[in-house]
Amino acid sequence: MKKIITILALVFAFSLNANAQDKKVISKEEIAKKELTPEAKAKSDAYELIRFLGLEENKLGSLTSLFTKKHAVLAEEGLTSERKNELTRIIDAKLRASLTSEQMEKLDKNSELLNRLTGK
């Protein structure tokens, strides 16, 4: 009887150990495909702009709300190219209105960042 209990204990111990090693490996592609919310994308954009231009942290709220609207519109299905172009124009105009000419000049020189922020 003791041998049977010992054998069962060993069988369960090895089967649990074998199952514990079956971890699901998440690839980098799966992480990249994972959708972020418009709010998270907007906060990322706002932080990137603040770091690039050296802005004060108190502008984070207004920039985040601007970029949240942008990402919400871009996430809509059936977005026409005219509406996307209009959104790009509006975001660009609001950025130009809220930044100084020196800051906007610096941002204009980094066209990759400007295009990403405006949604081009």
* pLDDT, tens digit, 9 for 90 and up, residues 53-81: 887 877 778 888 888 888 888 777 887 88
Residue 45 covered by a domain:
yes
Residue 106 covered by a domain:
yes
Query: In the structure encoding, which two tokens stand for residue 97, read together?
Result: 């209105």
- State the residue range of the domain holding 92: 36-118
Q: Let me know: does 17 contact 10? Beta carbons within 8 Å.
A: no
CA-based angle 13:15:18, to the nearest 5?
Answer: 110
Number of independent structural domains in the chain: 1
3-state secondary structure of 25: coil
Q: Let me know: does 69 contact 117? Beta carbons within 8 Å.
A: no
Query: What's the pLDDT score for residue 20?
Result: 46
Quote the mean pLDDT of the chain: 77
